[in-house]
Structure formats: C-alpha cells, structure tokens
Structure 1
Amino acid sequence: MNKIIEQKFPLVNEVLKGIGQIMLQENIYTGIFFTIGVFLGSTPMGVAILLASLTGTLTAKALKYDKDEISMGLYGFSPALVGVCLIFLFKNEVLIWLLVILGASAAAMLQHFFIKRKIPVYTFPFIFVTWVLVTLLHQFTNIPPSESFMKVPDLSNIDSFTSQVNGFGEVMFQANIWAGLLFFIGVYINSPIAALYGLLGSAISSALSFHGNEPINEIHMGLFSFNAVLCAIAYAGNKKIDGVFVLISVVICVFINIGLVNAEIGILQNAGGAFTLPFVLATCLVLPLKNYISKSEYFTKLSV
C-alpha cells in the first residue's frame, strides 16, 4: 500500500511522512494517525498541520531540494509544527493563516540550511520561526489567544497511564487522552521500541518533575513530558546502550525544561515559550557522547 501511495500520490506521501517525522517516524500511516489525533483535538489545528506540511513540502519542491529528502518528509515536520502551534496560540484570523503559510515556508528553508551542512538540529527551525512570528504578533497586533489555548483540561479522572500518554499528545499541543493514544499508536506501528521508550521517557520526566515540586496539573497535562518523549524516541533502539542514551537524554532534558520554566525568561515567554528547545538541546548534548561510545571498543558489548 505504501508503494502504491508513493507512486500514484507522491505529494500525499510526502505530506503525511512530514507529519510523521514530527516524532522522527518516516511512515505514511504514522502521519495519518497523527493528523487524526490533531483533528480530534481541534479542526482548525488539523487543517493547519496539513496545510503547513504541504506548504513546506511544496517550498522544497519549488526550490529543487533533494528529492529523497523531500520523499522522507524532512521538509514537512518543522513547518507542520509551526502551523499547528500558531493556530493553538492565536484566535482563528486571516493574518494567522497567512503566517501559517509564510512560517511553514521559512521553516522548510531553514531546515534545508542545516541539512545541507549536516548539522542535526531536529525541530529547531520550528522553534526559531515560531519565536519570531509570535514575538511580532505580540508586539504589533492585538489578536487574542485561541479557545484551545485558554481552555482548562479536565484532569479530575486522570491516572498514571493517562498522564504519561499526555506526554505524547502535548508534542502537538493536544491536551487530549485520545489524541495522545493515537500519537502513541502512530509511533508504535512504525517502531514499537520507540513508542515504548517514549512512554518510559514520559514516566521518568513526570516523576522527576513531581519530585522537583513542579505544578501537578501541568505534570498531568504532559507539559513536562513531551520533550522527554521526543528524546526517548530519538535515541530508541534495540541495543543495550540505547537505553543508556535514552535515560541520559531524558534526565538532561527534564532539568533543562524545569530550568527554563522556573527562570521565567521574559523574552522567551513573549515568544510563546521554550516549545521543543529542551529536546533539541538535550539530544544535541548527548549526540557527541553517542558518537564517541559507538567508536569505543570498551563499549562494544553494550552495543549488541
């Protein structure tokens, strides 16, 4: 089925893989599950994630970027996050939709800048472009927050599992157990080990945040977990040493996340928040260690 879609509907393949790549999954069905999950939480955000991934992909095609990279969805995930984030933060107005398109295109071009130089920055293009747009919107417009942003989720019946799944949901700004489950399933169908490590990363981050006396409602919502979920997925693998990388990256990520939240940096707050910056920083900090260990004979036994 994948081959049929790739051959007959290449643009659909690229757009959906772009959405799947938000959690580092190059899989059409993962993208479908993610899209459905976002639509369950908010129809405008669902439209935005598709429109933004499409815009990023078409930008890459227009600028004649590498066809294999486009096919892998590498120019869809940062744009998709820009789109869903803007619609999550701001009321549904024409200017916001125009910025979804412009921001998605800019994120694709910034992604290409780093890909060409072989610099692994993951979702940083999304972070940077969104920071710029949100800062400008706060500075020069009076567009109010969206209903989704202002809505307080019902946490009365939350349990431990629900709390961990919310870590998946918040990757795409969804405080919804069903969205979180669909995101988890989307990752699982492409990489079961990544999905399970992601769940573990969410649990570890929740526990550390709880012991750090962070607000319990925000912990249950997954706000201290979604970056850890991404770290765990990024380093997930079948080797024993992969579990070590997951643990180290998740712990570093949690401390960065807590530090940024508690610092209450004015510029960062005006730009919308840290978004996935803790994930990017933690993953990039652990990457040199992984590269060193992979070349070290001392750790050969752990690498099998």
Structure 2
Amino acid sequence: MNERTLFPGASFLRGVGQIMLQSNAWTGLLFLVGIFYDSTIMGLGALLAVVTGTLTAKLLRYDPEAINAGLYGFSATLVGVALTFYFQPVAVIWVAIVVGAILATVLQHRLITWNIPGFTFPFIVVTWICLYLFHHVWVVKDSADIVASLPVNDDFTLSTHGFGEVIFQGSVLAGLIFFIAVFINAPVAALYGVVGSILGAFISLQFAEPVPDIHMGLFSFNAVLCAIAFSGNKPRDGIFVLLSVVLSVLIDIQLLKMNLSVLTFPFVAASWITLLVKRLLPASWLV
C-alpha cells in the first residue's frame, strides 16, 4: 500500500526513519514502536520532537521535497529521545525538547544549504549544549535510564543492541525491531549494519573495554550507522564500510577515555573522513 495513502503525515514518520538514513514511513513507524516498547516517555519525547522539527521546516518554507523525505525530522527526534533518556521528564525538559528540535532543524537546514553532509551533527550540538546546561546551570536530576544496567549473556545481543542503542534503547526486542525496520527498506544496509555492530564489539574488545558495555552495544551503535551509511551492492562498498566502522570505534574509545558523551559523533566524524577519502580517490576507482 502506498505510504502517502496509508500515512497522511508520512513526512513525520520518514523523519524518524532517517535516524538510520531510511526515507520510509514504515521504518519510522517501527522505530517509534521500538522506542515506545522500551519507554513511553522517550516515545512521547520522540513524537513531540519530530512534529516540532518538521513543522518548523514547513513554517520556514524549507524545500518541500527535503521535508517530505524526512531530512528535517531525524536530528530533532534524537534530541527528544536523548533529553528524556538523560533527564527526568520535568517541565523544563519538555520545553527544551521543543526549543532543541527547532534549533536542530535550523542547523540541519544550514548544513543542507551549504552542501555539507551533516548527518546527525545538529542533534549532537544541541544535545551537548543541553547536557551542559542541565548538569551545570539549571540542574535537572538524571533519569534512571542512564544508570540502569541490562544483564546480557547471549552473543546475539551484540548485533541487536548495536541497532537499539542508536536510538538510546537497551532491550533486545527494540534492537530487533529496529533491524527489521531498516531491513524492510534496505536489506543490504540492514545486513551491513549487523556486520558493523559485531565488528564494533570485536574491535572494542581488543582494546580491553568493559565487556558489559560492549554487550550493551555502546561501542557498536556508531558502527551500525557507518555501515548503513556506506552500504551498497558493490564489493568496494565493503571497504568504505570497514574503514568507517574502524574509525568510528577508535574515535568512540578515545572520547570515552576523555569522559565525554559521545552520542553519534564518532559516526559523523568517521563518515566525514571516509567521504574525504572517497573524494581523493580516482573517479575510475569509484565507478
């Protein structure tokens, strides 16, 4: 069934789907299902943020095609999920979600107009600012979610948690739903994501990172995003996936040693470096 017929507000759902670079309303819907399964509060935060971000783009008369593709929804959605993940859902946090979603949308637009592949960078900037403000200026108590631990005994979770942690979700089922959501739109990308998740865990294990953190997907979710971003049907696509995944994990490890909130910055930084490498290669090699 056509997305436009089934979902009158498909642009909102595509905005959620674009978190993992999927312009598909079904994907976005499944992402929301996974988020709500793990946390109703985070689900509400995601909804408020994606609606705010998308409506902001419409009110500011941004490119309708970009809006319809969901390009102004994903960073905003991540802001909504992140703030309800890190902090207790008091009134100021809900206000911050609205303001943060607007700022993320405007920054996303700047990057688009400058022809810079911003990925989730607007979400990162806005969330880093909010983390500083609500930890040091207007102090808000931490959410229980950031201190909760999840016992893991099955290596299968190396891949499912890698998908789940992209959107701050820790359960196996949420991760599996996210994998299916990507698979229905881009099977090759989803399978590359599984490989990226496992590879991210393997690399971090070589650096003696804490095993519980590895199993929870904390060293895999950026790798999943990189693998999806550079996935393709050609063998050389695998080389770029490998390069970006390795870079993302190494950046992740270094930032964590500095006690920084990494969010999806390793994915963005690794993607920028990989795109630069691709640009420096001969055009004939990329055909």
Task: Quote the residue 2:68 is aligned against.
Answer: 71
* Offset, 1:133: 1.3
Letter in 1 for 2:106: M
2:133–2:139 Cα contact (<8 Å) kept? no
Task: Quote the residue 1:82 is aligned against.
Answer: 79
Work out the number of aligned pairs and report it: 287
Secondary structure at the residue paired with 1:160? coil
TM-score calculated relative to the size of structure 1: 0.92
User: Per-residue CA shift, 1:65-123, capped at 9, x if unaligned?
Assistant: 00000000000000000000000000011110110111001100000000001001100
User: Per-residue CA shift, 1:250-295, capped at 9, x if unaligned?
Assistant: 011111111111133xxxx4xxx010000000000010222343x5
Letter in 1 for 2:5: I
Within a 5 Å distance, the mapping from 1:1-304 to structure 2 comes to: 1-5=1-5, 9=8, 12-155=9-152, 158-264=153-259, 269=260, 273-293=261-281, 295-297=282-284, 299=285, 303=287
* Offset, 1:40: 0.7
Letter in 1 for 2:48: L
Unaligned runs of 5+ in 1: none
User: Per-residue CA shift, 1:223-248, capped at 9, x if unaligned?
Assistant: 00000000000000001110000001
Task: Quote the RMSD (CA, aligned, Å).
Answer: 1.3
* Deviation beyond 6 Å, 4+ runs, structure 1: none
* Offset, 1:3: 4.4
Secondary structure at the residue paired with 2:184? helix
2:3–2:10 Cα contact (<8 Å) kept? no
Distance between the aligned counterparts of 1:4 and 1:226, measured in 2?
Answer: 30
Distance between the aligned counterparts of 2:109 and 2:38, measured in 1?
Answer: 30
1:2–1:28 Cα contact (<8 Å) kept? no
Distance between the aligned counterparts of 1:263 and 1:31, measured in 2?
Answer: 33
Letter in 2 for 1:117: W
* Offset, 1:152: 1.6
2:4–2:10 Cα contact (<8 Å) kept? no
Letter in 2 for 1:245: F
Letter in 2 for 1:112: H
2:42–2:81 Cα contact (<8 Å) kept? yes
Identity %, equivalent residues:
48
Letter in 1 for 2:193: G
Distance between the aligned counterparts of 1:3 and 1:202, measured in 2?
Answer: 30
Letter in 2 for 1:159: D
Distance between the aligned counterparts of 1:150 and 1:206, measured in 2?
Answer: 21
1:22–1:78 Cα contact (<8 Å) kept? yes
Unaligned runs of 5+ in 2: none
